[in-house]
Structure 1
């Protein structure tokens, strides 16, 4: 049935071209149905905000994701809550009991100094795959572009597998203006001299996703994707939506 010429997509156990979904409480029955059809186009699952702590049957949900080859982890807000209450050791034990192998180090709500985050990453990478996040959820807080780039570089050098650029599930902070417009100058600077395959751009809406696909090709890493949108996103990556219609295989911009 493969008769169209489409952009080449990474597949299998991807290291880039990732789709990272945000699970904000999807019921187990619904999740089973979604994964039965779409697990091959989902790579990472963030159990959003701090919801993992109050999610019923969390271990079963984690096991279900892993059964389908998807990497589950808890949202950075839960990490920050544990940091704020000096409960990081308890948090790590909690992750181990759940069988979660990925951990996010973020500072979207708390202003955790970079040196403390780096120290945590050096410690955590011995037992976990670490994802860090850069940027604030506060729409009034502006980080200089140079600070964005310096943080991402240092976080990757410290041992992070990926760095997420903050955008929230609303697409109104971090790499976005309050109105939802992408800060395109910031994005272009972020990938200068940095490996874009190591950056996961939070892109919660179709218009945000299409911006990054047009800029970097079908194999850009995208996060905070709604579970209900994964098939539409894959269609966009494959040039099967009007906005990406003319994107051909040779236009892929990532190695």
Structure 2
């Protein structure tokens, strides 16, 4: 850091298993990626190329290479996985991962109906070659999944070989873990945490208020995802108690 302040919470160091920050790239240019890494690279653990944006991204290989050179893994959004699955192109998807030499993959079913045992089979197959992040929750705001089902699916997907499970929120933070107002479904989160270890979960939390809520619940080293590129440093200051929303939270700890 640039100067010394006392009573700053201790952050885990990269490569880390907790305190994980996943950024969402929704179409940055190569120059923007370079600038993003220069300003934020120390605080980003992994980058998701949002939903299926990689399909229309120009100079996709060059973009991935820039992230790789900076030591930041990249993976395709889960919606792209679903787009291949719904078209019966799973083997084509595996070849795509090989083509771009991706070591992480997201398995999700937020936009399609997929038998859960079949989803776990995809996880098991992919986990033999790459690190799997599996996403639980629907992108349909009208589809409310009860807590016991979230827990059951998370546990089974971890057992199938997922490294971490992701709690769905979309890029807007208005579905899945959250109500359409962006308010956290507190009871759902608390019940999940009674059965699933917190370090195995990445909570999608694109809105500042959601990030604050999780930091206050689980501390500075909570795993958070779907963070916009221009919100990485603001999030880091929240984690360190250096923004008004968490300013007093760590002072007496």
In the TM superposition, residue 89 of structure 1 has moved relative to its aligned partner by: 0.7
2:164 maps to 162
Q: Is the 8 A contact 1:62 1:99 kept in 2?
A: no
2:17 maps to 15
2:227 maps to 225
1:114 maps to 116
TM-score by length of 2: 0.97
In structure 2, stretches of 5+ residues that fail to align are: none
SS of residue matched to 2:33:
helix
Q: Is the 8 A contact 2:48 2:77 kept in 1?
A: yes
Q: Is the 8 A contact 2:14 2:45 kept in 1?
A: no
Please provide the CA RMSD for this pair: 1.1
In 2, Cα distance between equivalents of 1:3 and 1:155: 41
Q: Is the 8 A contact 2:40 2:232 kept in 1?
A: yes
SS of residue matched to 2:109:
coil
C-alpha offsets along residues 181-210 of structure 1, whole Å, 9 cap, x if unaligned?
110000001111311011000001111111
SS of residue matched to 1:20:
strand
In 2, Cα distance between equivalents of 1:156 and 1:239: 32
Q: Is the 8 A contact 1:108 1:134 kept in 2?
A: yes
SS of residue matched to 1:69:
coil
1:126 maps to 128
* The one of 215, 218, 234 aligned to 1:216: 218
* The one of 43, 46, 65 aligned to 1:44: 46
Q: Does 1:174 align with 2:176?
A: yes
SS of residue matched to 1:130:
strand
In 1, Cα distance between equivalents of 2:181 and 2:38: 36
Q: Is the 8 A contact 1:122 1:158 kept in 2?
A: yes
1:184 maps to 186
**Stretches (4+) displaced over 6 A:** none
In structure 1, stretches of 5+ residues that fail to align are: none
In the TM superposition, residue 180 of structure 1 has moved relative to its aligned partner by: 1.2
In the TM superposition, residue 37 of structure 1 has moved relative to its aligned partner by: 2.1
In 1, Cα distance between equivalents of 2:243 and 2:191: 28
2:80 maps to 78
